[in-house]
């Protein structure tokens, strides 16, 4: 008996498009014929990898709440600025005042 069907290779497994009506653990011989245009070009793969890497650099940390990358960068910059201001003025402040200012900075960043 011979069956011909299209299959997709993904995650190390061939997945046929049709039900092959085989018995469990039945051994078969498979002949692979690649469809024209079924493989991405090296340039396309390169573009996909670059896009993925760029996305990773923009948002390297996973947050519990979904925040758009642009907003995250802006919040990070604001928090950095606030922390710099805290460090500059902290020599004249008590530990409680520094803690209060840090909490206010976090609230400001979260509310933005």
| H/E run at residue 14 | strand 13-16
φ, ψ (nearest 5 deg) of residue 15: -115, 105
Q: How far apart are CA 44 and CA 51, in angstroms?
A: 11
Residue 35 lies in a domain: yes
Residue 1 lies in a domain: no
Q: How far apart are CA 40 and CA 26, in angstroms?
A: 33
Residue 96 lies in a domain: yes
Residue 82 lies in a domain: yes
- Copy the structure tokens of residue 88: 């500059």
Residue 94 lies in a domain: yes
Residue 59: how many other CB atoms lie within 10 Å: 13
Give me the pLDDT at residue 37, please.
Answer: 66
Give me the pLDDT at residue 25, please.
Answer: 93
Q: Which pLDDT tens digits describe the chain residue by residue (112 residues)?
A: 788 888 888 888 889 999 898 999 999 998 888 777 666 667 777 777 777 767 665 555 555 667 788 888 888 888 878 777 766 655 666 667 767 777 777 777 777 6
Range of the domain at 68: 7-111
How many domains does the chain divide into?
1
Residue 2 lies in a domain: no
Residue 41 lies in a domain: yes
Residue 28 lies in a domain: yes
Contact 7, 16 (CB under 8 A): yes
């Amino acid at each position: 008996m011979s069956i011909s069907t299209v299959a997709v290779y993904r995650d190390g497994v061939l997945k046929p498009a049709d039900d092959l009506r085989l018995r469990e653990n039945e051994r078969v011989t498979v002949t692979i014929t690649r469809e024209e245009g079924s493989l991405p070009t090296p340039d396309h793969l390169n573009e996909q990898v670059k896009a993925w890497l760029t996305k990773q650099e923009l948002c390297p940390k996973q947050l519990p709440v979904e925040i758009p990358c642009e907003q995250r960068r802006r919040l990070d910059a604001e928090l950095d600025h606030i922390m710099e201001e805290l460090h500059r003025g902290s020599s004249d402040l008590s530990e409680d005042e520094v803690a209060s200012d840090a909490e206010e900075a976090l609230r400001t960043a979260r509310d933005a």
